[in-house]
Structure 1
Amino acid sequence: MTALRAAPAASPAAAAPAARPPGAAGPLVLGVRHHGPGSARAVRAALEAVRPAAVLIEGPPEADGLVALAGDEDMRPPVALLAHAVDDPGRAAFWPFAGFSPEWVAIRWALDAGAVVRFIDLPAAHTLAADPTWDDGEEADQGERIDPVAELARAAGYDDPERWWEDAVELRGTADPIAPFEALAEAMGALRDAYGDGGRPLDLVREAHMRLRLRAARKEFGDDMAVVCGAWHVPAVGRKTTVAADRALLKGLPKVRTETTWVPWTHRRLARRSGYGAGIDSPGWYGHLFASPDRPVERWMTRVAGLLRAEDRMVSSAHVIEAVRLAETLAVMRGRPLAGLGETTDAVRAVMCDGSDVPLDLVHDRLVVGDVLGEVPAGAPAVPLQRDLARLQRGLRLRPEAQERQLELDLRKENDAARSRMLHRLRLLSVAWGEPVAGRGSTGTFRETWRLSWEPELHVRVAEAGVWGTTLASAATAKAESRALEATALAEVTSLAERCLLAGLSEALPVVMTALADRAALDADVGHLAEALPALARALRYGDVRATDTAALGEVAAGIAERVCVALPPACAGLDTEAATAMRGHLDGVHTALGLLPDAAGLVERWGGVLLRLADRDGVPGEIRGRAARILLDDGRLGEDATARLMSRALSPGTPPADAASWIEGFVGGASGGGMLLVHDARLLGLVDTWLTAVPPRAFTDVLPLLRRTFSAYEPGVRRTLGERVARGPSVGTPARAGAGTAGFAEGLDEARADAVLPVLRLLLGHGEPEGAGR
């Protein structure tokens, strides 16, 4: 352990003599920490010192044929090996590599040196068959696992494993390239003696396969080879066992047919917080340490300053110099060999962020974790659908990015319309690269706003979607047709029709429209019909900018609207509170939808009659009657006097308080602008005030939750104005006096007050102020 403190270089696991000095017998076994820059530098130095003929690496053997792609000039880490089951692409596993991963460094060294590279871990064919879930290629159950780095840190007197690792490996160097691996191997051997498999039962099977692959390689290369694996496995790799014993552990393992390829990865997905089992806390920082061995602290502070300046924060060169000095001072005070992430973070907070964690969070997100997205060569194996998607991305100049961003599209432009179709087709295939969001500009149908974020897992979703077709258009069409035939709910088919129009899937529309007409004809539930109509109405609007033929869709929508107008009044009678609330939502949806239907003047007129019947019908729940009255008032179909009569009747003493409160909720509740209506209509405010003050105490307790929900939805300014107007005087008892009551409005025009503004208007208009100006 003393030797390890002096100069180590790796992570999870190693025991007995792990590395061999030049001239010593046996393969060179290098125990590393996955994604550790110190381990990566040590591996490169050891390989340069020994220069083996073959390098064996922990990874799936199915990827042996893909190793050469790692040397392609278009391959830029972070990347990952992706293996998935051919018959079930959802069963997949990743083996990620960053530029500072020891395994990646070993692969690149071997390719440059002309050495053979082979992977020796348990084949993905067994891994994917044994575990239907996928994550990072590690086992799912980590409940009883030990963390080797944490155990070694605890033995060294550290309470933070990452800090110990930085001190022991990342921030130290050694003249002997083999010594760190020997020290770590000894430490891991002690841990394996104490903890056995460390809560990793599958590791015993994996290590048996590694030993078999190592024996086979020794027959070919002798001892002139190096093994690069997680340090935890080093004691087991060198363990003396029989071939029969190892094969017995592998006997009977399930197996599936797999395909393997390289896919881009991200620093964000390397972070432990993302759920990756072998993740690290600070991939961006580790990448910086690996790429900047010379003056890493100074270079890091310069990068931080550049980021903060880009965000309009005042950061000068003096800040950088002072932050470097503070970080180095903190390292000395804390007894660290060099300033690490903790010291640099504290210095940045104090010097560049004025003690605030807000800009520091930006530094952590952009630099400490990072948003780097790797690239793979175009020649990497891929399912046909993935190749078609890559072609579309290049042609539309819409490359995947790790960092989330918003994309504004103007569908009147050909390129933007094509981008929209691609994103909608991907969503239909459950490849959620983009998510539609509300835009800040125009709300017209010719504009769309998307939130884009590419995650590595989407490669698996694309592979899964490959069963539907070889191109994005054919796959989306096939899935839409299949969903249309399988759908049982009318709303599901209408939503699918809308999505097909958005995605420009004209070939799928005949099947979807047939299914839609069949479901609409068979569905007698007015709630289902009302729920389906808004999606159809929205879809009909897309033809303007997407040049889509929606004639058949219009016929179905008109038929559904007719049936809603006939069936809605009787369906609204006798509903309970929950059903009434749902029906009120349908009422709003249908009203909005009818306004979108082309050539629907007759339907709109008929709908007005339906609303009049609902507003005046006693058997209809108060919430629906109130909402119908409000819609009619807003559309000008119901005058102020008629509206006041309906409210007066709904709030009469003979009406149960709960029913009256429900009517108010329907009339002025939600996002309907009811608060402003009461502010500007003294008579309606007076009626509500009179009713509210007359509610008996016991009944008031029952209606209070509904009233709170109704009025709490108003803007604070609206609530304050209503309170002030009610507080000015006694409640208004009758509509005749409402104009002069609490709301502060006179019944007629006060001409003297109106004339008072005329002199000011003349000045504003440049006519001057004539002497004795009045009227």
Structure 2
Amino acid sequence: MSDRVTFGDRVTFIGVRHHSPACARLVRDEIRRLRPAFVLIEGPVEMNDRLGELMLGHRLPIAVFTGYRDARRHHMSWAPLCEYSPEWVALREGHDCGAQVRFIDLPAWHSALAERENRYADAEKRYRHAVDRLCEHFAVDNTDTLWDHLFETGTGDPSAELAAYFDLIRGEDTAAPHDTDREAYMAAWIHAARAHTPDRPIVVVTGGFHRPALIRAVTDHPVTDGGWPEVPEVPAGAVAATYLVPFSFARLDAFGGYQSGMPSPAYYQRLWDEGPEAAAAGIVTAVVSRLRERGVVASTADLIGARTLIGGLARLRGHDVPTRTDVLDGVASALIDDALDHPLPWTGRGAMHPRTHPVVVEMLAVLRGDTSGSLHPATPHPPIVADVAAQLGRHHLVLDRGFTVDLSDPASAAAGHLLNRLRVLRIPGFTRLSGPASGTAPVLSESWQLFDSELRLPALIEAGTLGATVLEAATVRLGEHFTTVTADPGMLADVLFDAVSCDLTELSDRVLERIAEIIETSSDIPGLGALLAVTLGLWRTRPDALPARLISAATTRLLWLLEGVRGTALPDDTATLRALVAVRDTALHAQPLLNLARPAVVAVFQRCSLGDRPAALRGAALGMTWALTDTPDPAGTERAIRGARQIDSLGDFLAGLFAVARERVLEPVGADEDGLLIVLDELVGGFTEPDFLAALPALRLAFAWLPPRERATIADHLLRLRGVVGSAPALLRLPAAPELLAHARAVEDRVDALLRRENLLSEVRHD
């Protein structure tokens, strides 16, 4: 069945795969041949009155971006266009031949597209069965390889094969309601175009999945005098906006997670510009050059070998010229000698595995390319773009340099509020290096690194759907986050921190009301600990930022929950220990806010050090008495540590102790200046070799609570205790991971035991 399906020699339906050079060539050739009166394209109908914006002379890739927001949802959608996108070629060729060009698909915010972030996402899940059968028949791995094999490197007219392919994958199955809604709307545009031009050709360019249904729709309905379909209105109370945004090959690439079209956009750009043979040769040269730049040995012989393998694979697979997969397989075979931990990415679809071989990563980076689009200066932007530019100038914020915010100065603090709003909106180019956070000391400054980024404009345009100003957009973004985390005290703490940092007073008040409610009922110790740490840090930096009663309520609730903990392990050890640190900081630095006197807090932890408590909690309880008591009991301290000498609990006990009172680890215990270290050294030294290896992972986690300088001090003390002269920092730099060394030691011990049992140890050592 030919793809040139016509009715009265007027309507030609061209089914395409989005971002396919083969389909783009077919669209170009058909429009030039037919010189139609109308070119109807699957695309956002709300852009029809603004097609002139697309003709301004942008550098591709770009995308039509739509943002939608109502009381229940916020939806963003993109329709990307690159030079070899069939939709872009249809737009340009139709314009050049004098045709009336129209987009004919529903707006991106319409319910039929509400679940799609990408208008041109292929419907592969819906026709996977047919594609799987085709892949099996042609002995290829996936859709992309199948498509290249069938269409991309051919030299003839692919229209008949394309039509058969799309008819097969659509089949006779009933489409989902959102597809039938879109197809009915597109069919209405085709009917209207037929009525407006009784004797001239019409070209319809849509995704191949929709093509069979549209043909049936036109076949089953005679020409009528109906007018053009109306553009659906935005629902009452909702806000929707559509703008052009710069896009990039990195965002187009399927290996980066893009859900539509073709992977390796730089390769297909070469294919579009130069043809398949030149594209294959150019990509091989580019891959080898990049690997050499990265220090990978890739000789001229390797290059010759890769080209030989590529040619052989192409002939073996029945290709007149090499396809993308032939190139990738050939280069990988020629340049990678070691075993791969994971299958080559192009044997499947989707993002690369994090542990993909480095050479493969570099290869795919070449085929992806680093091209980024840009918009013509006359392109309209949402108001937020101008608002941000004006505010950056007002606060004298210059890109490509650092900036320090003085939170005690109102003018400087206002600049900090702007920067934090941009951070919350995830606008590239504004990185917070340091500033207020949970901790023991108030911080009255923020350090920022400002830099220009080609991603800043598209991010601002996308943020513009949240509000006309950066203040409004940041409020909406954080408000949406707030509505999704109202039952999680830890996440509420993050929202509160951001709201205060951005000076969003109204939102801060709402968050504080919810926090007051959740403190009374939550049993989430880690979450309440994170909440207490954030509120304490904010109070110490800005005492007027929140009610002090929240700190008291959170502390009282945590003490009550901690005293009730029983068993052998803490829930989420590290996060729970951080909650204990927050309680300690509150007792030390915000005692006037609490309903409990410090001795009452100490009494709670004295009770936590007894009975069937987790070892980490008992260690933290001991640390709390150190931190909150001016005259700790040396003898009691030593007894508590020796009481935790069990192999399976010493590491956990020390983790709790170090988390809460690491600053006092090096202080004397009794009359001994080495204090706690002598006790710990004695306990660890008493372990047998197997016991030490069993205890090692927990001990490492415990000592991870100490910063490098304190670990080096401990190493220096241990060297001195043994009368050894050496470099303490050198002891902390092992040639391999400690777990690997411990495993190697265990293997050596087992080998020694086997040799001893067989009376071979002395002979081996003699040799």
Task: Give the secondary structure class of the aligned counterpart of 1:57.
Answer: strand
Give the Cα separation in 2 of the matches to 1:155 and 1:489: 51
1:697 matched residue in structure 2: none
Mark the runs of 5 or more structure 2 residues left unpaired by the alignment: 341-356, 707-716, 727-767
For 1:211 and 1:393, the matched residues in 2 are separated by: 48
Cα shift readout 1:659-718 (whole Å, capped 9, x = no counterpart): 99986663357995999999984542377579999xxxxxx9xxx9997874352569x9
Correspondence for 2:81:
97
Residues 633 and 643 of structure 1 are in contact (CA less than 8 Å); yes or no, is this contact kept in structure 2? no
For 2:203, the aligned partner's letter is A
- Paired with 1:534 and 1:551, the residues of 2 have a C-alpha distance of 14
Matched residue, 1:425: 421
Matched to 2:219, the amino acid is T
1:507-522 equivalent positions in 2, closer than 5 A = 508-509=504-505, 512=508
- Please report how far the alpha carbon of residue 253 of structure 1 lies from its aligned counterpart in structure 2 after TM superposition: 13
Letter in 1 for 2:193: A
- 1:33 Cα deviation (Å)? 2.0
Retained in 2: the 8 A contact 1:97–1:104?
yes
Partner deviation per Cα, 1:702-745 (whole Å, 9 max, x = no partner): xx9997874352569x9xxxxxxxxxxxxxxxxxxxx9xxx998
Instruction: Select which of 175, 190, 194 maps to 1:218.
Output: 194
Higher mean Cα deviation, 75-84 or 527-536? 527-536
1:227: which partner in 2?
204
Q: What is the one-letter code of the residue matched to 1:210?
A: M
Corresponding residue number in structure 1 for 2:100: 116
CA distances 1:37-91 after superposition (whole Å, capped 9, x unpaired): 1221232233233333331212233221232222212352142353646776624
Structure 1 residue 349 corresponds to structure 2 residue 312: no
C-alpha contact (below 8 Å) 1:267/1:284 kept by paired residues: yes
- Cα distance, 1:36 vs structure 2: 0.6
For 1:134, which of 113, 116, 128 is the aligned residue? 116
What secondary structure sits across from 1:168 in the alignment?
A: helix
Identity over aligned pairs, percent? 21
Cα distance in 2 for residues equivalent to 1:476 and 1:334: 54
Write the mapping of 1:579-594 to structure 2, written as runs, cut at 5 A: 584-592=577-585
Whole-Å separation in 2 of the counterparts to 1:136 and 1:565:
47
Sort the Cα spacing of 1:101 and 1:355 in 2 relative to 1 into closer, same or farther, 3 A.
farther
Measured in 2, the distance between the counterparts of 1:308 and 1:501 equals: 47
**Structure 1 range deviating more: 156-165 or 606-615:** 606-615
Partner of 2:311: 328
> What does 1:528-543 align with in structure 2 at a 5 Å threshold?
532-539=531-538
Contact kept? 1:665, 1:706, Cα under 8 Å? no
Secondary structure of 1:374's aligned partner: coil
- After superposition, the Cα gap between the structure-2 partners of 1:66 and 1:319, relative to the gap in structure 1 and judged at 3 Å, is farther
Structure 2 distance, partners of 1:353, 1:574, is 58
Alpha-carbon offset, residue 643 of structure 1: 3.0
Deviation at 1:117, TM superposition (A): 0.7
Counting only pairs closer than 5 Å after superposition, residues 200-599 of structure 1 correspond to structure 2 as 203-221=179-197, 222-239=199-216, 241-243=219-221, 256-257=234-235, 259-272=241-254, 278-293=260-275, 295-315=278-298, 320=303, 323-352=306-335, 358-370=357-369, 372-377=371-376, 380=379, 383-385=382-384, 388=387, 411=404, 421-422=417-418, 424-426=420-422, 428=424, 446-447=446-447, 462=463, 465-466=466-467, 470-476=468-474, 495-503=494-502, 505=503, 508-509=504-505, 512=508, 532-539=531-538, 550-553=542-545, 573=563, 575-577=565-567, 584-592=577-585
| Corresponding position of 1:771 | none
Question: What is the CA distance between 1:471 and its match in structure 2?
Answer: 0.7
Amino acid at match of 1:286: Y
Q: Distance in 2 between matches of 1:523 and 1:187?
A: 60
Q: Deviations over 1:502-552 (max 9, x none)?
A: 33x2xx34884798599779977997986544224433676xxxxxxx352
Q: Tell me, what secondary structure is at the counterpart of 2:497?
A: helix
Local SS of the residue matching 1:96: strand
Q: In the TM superposition, what whole-angstrom CA distance separates every residue of 1:604-638 from its partner, at most 9, and x where no partner exists?
A: 9x997667655655876665553243356579945
Instruction: Specify the SS of the correspondent of 1:591.
Output: helix
The letter for the 1-side match of 2:657 is: F
Q: 2:67, 2:101 → 1: CA distance?
A: 18
Q: Which runs of 5+ in 1 are unaligned?
A: 1-14, 399-406, 543-549, 694-699, 719-738, 758-775
Change (3 A) 1:37 1:684: same
RMSD (Å) for aligned C-alpha atoms: 5.9
Distance 1:314 1:92, change over 3 A: same
Partner Cα distance (1:660, 1:334) in 2: 62
1:459–1:218 distance in 2 versus 1, CA, 3 Å: farther
Which secondary structure state, in structure 2, belongs to the residue aligned with residue 630 of structure 1?
Answer: helix
Does residue 630 (structure 1) correspond to residue 630 (structure 2)? The answer is no
Q: Distance in 2 between matches of 1:363 and 1:235?
A: 40
Q: Quote the Cα distance in structure 1 between the aligned partners of 2:180 and 2:82.
A: 27
Amino acid paired to 2:286 = R
Distance in 2 of aligned mates of 1:487 and 1:662: 33
TM-score scaled by length of structure 1? 0.66
Residue deviations 1:259-280 (CA, integer Å, cap 9, x gap): 4333333434444466655433
- What code does the residue aligned with 1:711 have? L
Report the residue type matching 1:552 in the other structure.
D
- Matched residue type, 1:43: V
Indicate the structure (1 or 2) with the bigger Cα radius of gyration: 1
- Secondary structure of the 2:638 match is helix
User: TM-score normalised to the size of structure 2?
Assistant: 0.66
Q: Which residue of 1 aligns with 2:46?
A: 62
Q: Deviations over 1:156-180 (max 9, x none)?
A: 6756543343243221223xxxx43
Give the equivalent residue in structure 2 for 1:8: none
Preserved contact between residue 56 and residue 226 of structure 1 (Cα < 8 Å):
yes
- Secondary structure at 2:158's aligned position in 1? helix
- Bigger Cα displacement from structure 2, 205-214 vs 66-75: 205-214
